[in-house]
Amino acid sequence: MRSYTLLACAKINLYLEIVGDRADGYHELAMIMQSVGLCDRLQIEPSGTDIIRITCNHPDVPSDSSNLAYRAAELMCSEFPEAFAQYGGVNISIDKHIPVAAGLAGGSSNAAAVLVGMDLLWNLGLTQGECERLGEQLGSDVPFCVRGGTALATGRGEKLSPLPDLDQLYVVLAKYESVKISTAWAYKTYRNIDEESYIRDPEHIEAYGQKVHSGPIVRAIASKNHAIITEELRNDFEKIVLPEYPQLVALKQRFIEAGALGTLMSGSGSTIFALTESQAEADRIKSDIEQQLNDPDLNLWVAQFSPTGIKVSD
């Protein structure tokens, strides 16, 4: 049986609005998610046994069931027992390029790649929608990472509506190695500071869902109006994360001074990104920031917006 190599794209949030609590314990969200061409490379092959093995070149990535990619493989084994009995377990090797704990969905993208890779390896013939529904069992970002591109995500992030591709935009991603932010902490802290607007009644959440503020940026994406897109960038987590990490505030200001179209924090942090309309401009901004800050703790990458989340590589 052959092996498969897959590229798992990172994601950024062009828009993230927190509506309130849901009855199932998650949060009601309105997000615009975008795949970018910073990718992890995963190799998936038969293990020759009934064992799942995970290896990764990054020391902070676990190799046990706490790894979302491992759980994705376990899910495939339990959902398709006949295929598991026929083909056995898998070896999964992760060549990590997406930074860890960065708000870029690196773990979710790896899980999505495992779902797609094992579908191919086991000749299951699953549709993209079936893979997305499997991903819902693993995490809110996994369905989007299967689909990729540009999408409006609602519910807890699993309800996806595709939007037109923004293939003419580039992004500069910046992540301080030492700054790692817990998503659980971010949600808890946001809830505590935003008591008045934080909706907890499911009926009110449904009504409020008709009034979320994502309409202008959705329309701007539909018309590919980059100026309006950057004006409408929003991340509710910034109000609780940025006061705790002044270096992220300073980094956003550096991006603005360098001439970026717009800048925002992705997810619950701690990656700050800047948008440009060309790779040359993105490369220039990256170089300017590196020279100005000269900080070995700061890593920067340039990537183009991607129309897909998972790519099968040669």
Instruction: Look at residue 202 and tell me whether its pLDDT is greater than 60.
Output: no
Mean pLDDT calculated for residue range 294-302 = 97
- DSSP H/E element including 82: helix 81-87
* Percent with pLDDT over 70 in the chain: 92
Is 153 labeled as ligand-binding? no
Tokens 């609590």 correspond to: 21
What domains does the chain contain, in order, with CATH numbers? 4-163 (3.30.230.10), 170-304 (3.30.70.890)
pLDDT per position as a tens digit, 40-78: 999 999 999 999 999 999 999 999 999 999 999 999 999
Is 220 labeled as ligand-binding? no
Mean pLDDT calculated for residue range 229-235 = 97
Distance CA 5, CA 229 (A): 34
Instruction: Look at residue 107 and tell me whether its pLDDT is greater than 90.
Output: yes
Instruction: Look at residue 205 and tell me whether its pLDDT is greater than 50.
Output: no
Instruction: Look at residue 93 and tell me whether its pLDDT is greater than 70.
Output: yes
146 conformational bin, left if phi > 0, alpha if psi -120 to 50, beta if neither: alpha
pLDDT, residue 203, reads 55
The active-site residue, picked from 141, 165, 175, 286, is: 141
Instruction: Look at residue 251 and tell me whether its pLDDT is greater than 60.
Output: yes
pLDDT, residue 186, reads 87
For residue 11, indicate whether it is catalytic: yes
Residue 243 is given by DSSP the state: G
Q: What is the three-class DSSP state of 134?
A: helix
For residue 141, indicate whether it is catalytic: yes
The active-site residue, picked from 11, 175, 286, 311, is: 11
Instruction: Look at residue 207 and tell me whether its pLDDT is greater than 80.
Output: no
pLDDT, residue 157, reads 83
Report residue 287 as tokens: 């170089």
pLDDT, residue 13, reads 97
Is 100 labeled as ligand-binding? yes
Is 162 labeled as ligand-binding? no
